[in-house]
Amino acid sequence: MADEIRNDELLQAIADMRETYKKTHESGSDDHTAINEANTKVINLTLHSNFLVPAVISKNTQLVQDKDNHLKFEDKPQARFMLVKHSQNGTFLPVFTDSEEFEKVPHDAEFQLVNMKFSDVATLTEQTPTINGFVINPMTTNLPYTKEMLAGIKQTLIEARDRKLKEQQAAAAPNITVTSGENK
């Protein structure tokens, strides 16, 4: 399964975005249209990507009581995720575009690669108070998504969804005109 994950289009978009930044900076251009387009492309591709997230999965057997007050043992899987620390920016969850990128990171053999959608990675990041965000391919691409960036993306998606819903409701509403008329 891990070998099936490839994000070549995302990696190319990130490289193009960085090249656009470099050219804009070198030319001293004030035109940020190209930068905005490059950023938007990267974000849109990221939103639709699956990533490989290293974790140690263990089974924790617990004694659980059911609705009829019967006790039974249940295996409840637990995951411990790999984290990377940046000296100034804090702790991040590393995610990988493919298994080759994961192999570039020194790691214990016990880590397994878990296939996660962007939304799952964002939710995990949002719900983990000890991390500042996630980073795509920390050894090469090194593209961070901070919690603040994720909150902004989430807000934009909510606004877009609400706009679309309003447009659909307006399109579905019957076009009725009420006039007062006299019968003659």
Q: What pLDDT, on the 0 to 100 scale, is given for residue 117?
A: 96
Strands (E) in 34-166, as ranges, are 50-65, 71-81, 84-86, 90-95, 112-117, 133-136, 143-146
Q: What pLDDT, on the 0 to 100 scale, is given for residue 75?
A: 74
Indicate the helix (H) or strand (E) that contains 137: none
Strand partners, 96: 52
User: d(Cα 46, Cα 136) in Å, to the nearest integer?
Assistant: 10
User: d(Cα 151, Cα 148) in Å, to the nearest integer?
Assistant: 5
Output phi, psi for 173, to 5 deg.
Answer: -70, 135
This prediction has a pTM of 0.77
Per-residue pLDDT of the chain (184 residues; tens, 9 = 90+): 455 888 999 999 999 999 998 988 888 876 688 889 999 999 999 999 999 999 998 877 777 788 888 887 777 777 889 999 988 899 999 999 999 999 998 887 789 999 999 999 999 999 999 999 999 999 999 999 999 999 999 999 899 899 988 888 888 777 666 677 665 5
Strands (E) in the chain, as ranges, are 50-65, 71-81, 84-86, 90-95, 112-117, 133-136, 143-146
In this structure, are residues 121 and 95 in contact, taking their beta carbons and an 8 Å threshold?
A: yes
Amino acid sitting at position 82: M
Q: What pLDDT, on the 0 to 100 scale, is given for residue 167?
A: 86
Burial label for 34, CB within 10 Å (0-12, 13-18, 19+), is middle
- Angstrom CA distances, 125 to 8, 61, 150, stand at 24, 26, 9
Q: What pLDDT, on the 0 to 100 scale, is given for residue 12?
A: 96
Q: What pLDDT, on the 0 to 100 scale, is given for residue 182?
A: 62
Q: What pLDDT, on the 0 to 100 scale, is given for residue 66?
A: 81
Q: What pLDDT, on the 0 to 100 scale, is given for residue 31?
A: 66
